[in-house]
Amino acid sequence: MPQGLIVKALSGYYYVLPEGAALLEGNTVTCRGRGVFKNRNITPLVGDRVVYEATENGEGTVTEILPRSSELIRPPIANVNVVVLVFSVTEPVLNTQLLDKFLVHIENTGIDVLLCFTKSDLLTETDDNVSHAKEMTSTEFKRITTLYEGIGYPFVTTSSRLEEGVEAILQHLDGKVSVFAGQSGVGKSSLLNKMISGLDLETNAISQRLGRGKHTTRHVELLPLANGGLVADTPGFSQLDFMEVEAEGLSSCFREFAAVAEGCRFRGCLHLHEPDCKVRDGVASGTIAASRYDHYLLFLTEIKDRKRRY
């Protein structure tokens, strides 16, 4: 039976690109999943390599899901090589706590990360008369990017209005399957419109009352890049939970913690009050950012609270 790639999932249908075919309009086969998938609580995902069979009405049925190299639950997508975390520097203002939460989830999957900071043209140059709840200065942004680059995260800055940074992202995604993720209203769709000729994804302005964008993308779909890569646009969201992360594994999702934690006196150190904790020593000496450690403590509390609820 033929094999293919699920490039879109919508309303119970899976749009499968046959193996070897170019991702062009009209080249996909519209499929349903086998009933056994539902019985086994298995959901085919965009990015899945699958076996399918043709049906009499010209459509098809997905009969087998081939082994996955990676899987994300939110956004739901499989076999991704790199996650592009898209955060605006302002409108909405860059939220490093939310950024760290996204990073924890991705580190837990082992997928590579590229940080993308959009709307760089909206940075303010001085601290004079700045409302820090709504705007960010160039100085503060430089501090943040220096921190994350030092931890080991590559980043690009973009401006869709000025058409800056697009080529840099395309080079990072050359030949890869990637997914754009981040909260609503940060400019994911606007950026993709600049990256893919002829694409016209719906975009919406930021809600001034709520300080966040509306959801303009309502399904996951792989889109072709000029360099042969594939990129998925996904629904934006601003809240994540820690259903897949355990307290004992949280620190390994902070790269700079994992680099020193082996030196802690106790195996399984949670870096709270244990003696000879190298992570807390790093925070005290300034080699580990206090903001990252504070976020770690918040996430650890959230995970423990979740366990108590369930």
Q: Is 160 annotated as a binding residue?
A: no
> 24-57, pLDDT tens digit by residue?
878 999 999 998 888 888 899 999 999 999 998 8
Eight-class DSSP state of 159:
B
> 77-135, pLDDT tens digit by residue?
899 999 999 999 988 889 999 999 999 999 998 999 999 999 999 888 765 554 455 67
Find the angle CA(73)-CA(79)-CA(82) to the nearest 5 degrees. Answer: 85
Q: Is 184 annotated as a binding residue?
A: yes
Give the pTM.
0.83
> Which regions of the chain carry the CATH code 3.40.50.300?
77-233
Nearest alpha carbon to residue 109 among 83, 75, 67, 71: 71
Q: Is 120 annotated as a binding residue?
A: yes
Q: Is 271 annotated as a binding residue?
A: yes
Judge whether 240 and 102 are in contact, CB under 8 Å. Answer: yes
Q: How far is CA 175 from the centre of its chain?
A: 18
CATH code for the part of the protein at 77-233: 3.40.50.300
> 231-270, pLDDT tens digit by residue?
986 665 545 677 778 999 999 999 999 999 999 999 999 9
The residues with which 164 forms a beta bridge, in sequence order, are 159
Give the helix/strand (H/E) hosting 189. Answer: helix 188-195
Count Cβ atoms within 10 A of the Cβ of residue 36 and give its class: 0-12 exposed, 13-18 middle, 19 or more buried. exposed
Q: Is 190 annotated as a binding residue?
A: yes
211 pLDDT above the threshold of 50: no
Q: Is 277 annotated as a binding residue?
A: yes
> Which regions of the chain carry the CATH code 2.40.50.140?
3-67
- Residue 33 phi, psi dihedral angles, 5° rounding: -90, 155
Eight-class DSSP state of 66:
P
3-67: CATH topology is OB fold (Dihydrolipoamide Acetyltransferase, E2P) (2.40.50)
SS3 assignment, position 55: coil
Count of beta carbons in the 10 Å neighbourhood of residue 273:
7
Q: Is 183 annotated as a binding residue?
A: yes
247-309: CATH topology is Ribonucleotide Reductase Protein R1; domain 1 (1.10.40)
Q: How many CA atoms lie within 13 A of 193 on its CB side?
A: 13
218 pLDDT above the threshold of 70: no
Q: CB within 8 A of 95, min separation 6: which ones? A: 87, 183
Question: Residue 184 — pLDDT band, cuts 50, 70, 90?
Answer: confident
> Which regions of the chain carry the CATH code 1.10.40.50?
247-309
Beta 221-224 vs 177-181: how paired, if at all? unpaired
Q: Is 208 annotated as a binding residue?
A: no
Q: How far is CA 207 from the centre of its chain?
A: 22
Average model confidence (pLDDT) across the chain: 86
Q: CB within 8 A of 115, min separation 6: which ones? A: 84, 85, 87, 99, 148, 153, 154, 155, 156
